[in-house]
Amino acid sequence: MGPVIGMTPDKRAETPGAEKVAGLSQIYKMGSLPEAVDAAGPKATLVGSESADDELTNLNWLHESTNLLTNFSLGSEGFPMVSPLYDIEGDDGASFGPPCYQNSEKKSATSKPPYSFSLLIYMAIEHSPNKCLPVKEIYSWILDRFPYFATAPTGWKNSVRHNLSLNKCFQKVERSHGKVNGKGSLWCVDPEYKPNLMQALKKQPFPSPQSGSLSPHYLSSVLKQNQVRTLKESDIDAATAMILLNTSIEQEILECEKPLPLKTSLQKKRNYNNAFLSAIRLQEGDSLATSIDPKEDHNYSASSMTAQRCASRSSVSSLSSVEEVYEFIPKSSHVGSDGSEGFHSEEDTDVDYEDDPLGDSGYADNSPKGQPGKKIRKQSHQEIDEELKEAAGSLLHLAGIRTCLGSLISTAKTQSQKQRKK
DNA sequence: TGACCCGTAAACACTC
DNA sequence: GGAGTGTTTACGGGTC
């Protein structure tokens, strides 16, 4: 058997858009890929927003979700390589506790991760608060999570750089002007390729050692949805977050049995609070979206839907504090919005729907002819509140933070009602 | 069998 | 000049 010559770079260039996404070419064949996203805007934003809110109460949903993203990590033997708790030890990467497997799954630690470099880089970048990382940080992240590379030949760094350069999924972003922050640029994930990366993640071996979290069906539902609707960046992130949230909760249930250090428990509660609060924001206006789109796949749970939309709204700019979350609810009943660019968010969709018959929400397009969508949108706040309670209750029940929830709900509701009255 | 994906190595240029 | 970074080219193995 003679050597198989790999595809030359020249040849790759002949298939723009589809050639560089590792293991993703099939995805493109599935059609319904997002329109080219003007990445310039988001990128600039990302770079500009380097000051991330490190507060524990930070409601940066993508941050949350990308933390959870690491929950995907499974050892080559099917064991979780990274505990869902690992990021609970601290808020920044530097304080991350050692992955569980460093204690309990040493075998996994020394075996090669079942992820391609593209996925590793993707996870690393997504894990960062700003969704941008310098190469060095990518190295660090990989090293932290996969000690295998600590002992591996240094060539893997070259591979990382090679991937960054070669793979269109990753885009280089210049560091802030006038500021010299070390060598190199920041690297971001091109939003256009996020669904592809997610698909690739899905294709990774995800044995379900315990509860089968992340069933392929579930994932495919998410991905399917993203393809049915116009794929916006927010949707993509929503899918990510949805998966992550789901995974996290299931993991938490399993972890619940174990006694946790106080700090860990508190942090977990905070995380759940964050998730829940975001869910609240979504829940209020988005029950409509579920009903509006007849194409939607409802095979997955409502809570997952909630989580998805949840992340969807805050995917890019995301909230920076709990207070903002509280503000959101009232905002959603306001007419009009500041409409921050790059994030016309479904926040806008909810906010505007009563005054915007066209519903530039994106969901409007999917509404059945006539006005059924409006009917749904007219859903009384009471009903919404009921849904909210229900969803929140479920979430909190799972997280074991019912108490916290009650106060959060009532606070949110109070604020919401105040705003409505105004 | 070939196309494609992925990892790896190496060379080179550039920046700090 | 050295180290780190980014780009490009080349090749081999594996999979479909």
CA torsion through residues A271, A272, A273, A278, sign: positive
Q: Is any atom of nucleic acid chain B found less than 7 Å from the CB of residue A11?
A: yes
For A214, list phi and psi in degrees, rounded to 5.
Answer: 70, 55
Residue A110: pLDDT band by 50, 70, 90 thresholds? low
What is the spatial distance between Cα A247 and Cα A240, in angstroms, rounded to a whole number?
Answer: 11
pLDDT in tens, A394-408: 444 433 333 333 344
Q: What is the pTM of this model?
A: 0.43
Domains and their CATH numbers in chain A: 110-203 (1.10.10.10)
**What is the predicted pLDDT for the residue at A138?**
92
What is the spatial distance between Cα A113 and Cα A148, in angstroms, rounded to a whole number?
Answer: 8
The label of the residue with tokens 């505990």 reads A83
The radius of gyration of chain A's CA atoms, rounded to the nearest angstrom, is 21
What is the CA angle A237-A239-A245, rounded to 5? Answer: 100
What is the spatial distance between Cα A207 and Cα A205, in angstroms, rounded to a whole number?
Answer: 6
Question: Burial of A341 by CB count in 10 Å (0-12 exposed, 13-18 middle, 19+ buried)?
Answer: exposed
Q: Which of residues 197-226 of A touch strand B (CB under 7 A)?
A: 200
Strands A132-134 and A186-189: what pairing? Answer: antiparallel
- Residue A75 contacts residue A105 (beta carbons within 8 Å): yes
Q: Which two tokens stand for residue A205?
A: 């071996």
Mark the nucleotides of strand C covered by protein, meaning any atom under 7 Å from a CB. Answer: 3-15
pLDDT in tens, A319-328: 232 223 223 3
Task: Measure A52 CA to B12 C1' (Å).
Answer: 37
**What is the predicted pLDDT for the residue at A157?**
92
pLDDT in tens, A54-108: 322 233 333 333 343 434 433 333 333 333 223 323 333 333 333 333 333 344 5
**What is the predicted pLDDT for the residue at A196?**
80
What is the spatial distance between Cα A357 and Cα A354, in angstroms, rounded to a whole number?
Answer: 7
- Among protein residues, the one whose C-alpha sits closest to the C1' atom of C8 is A9
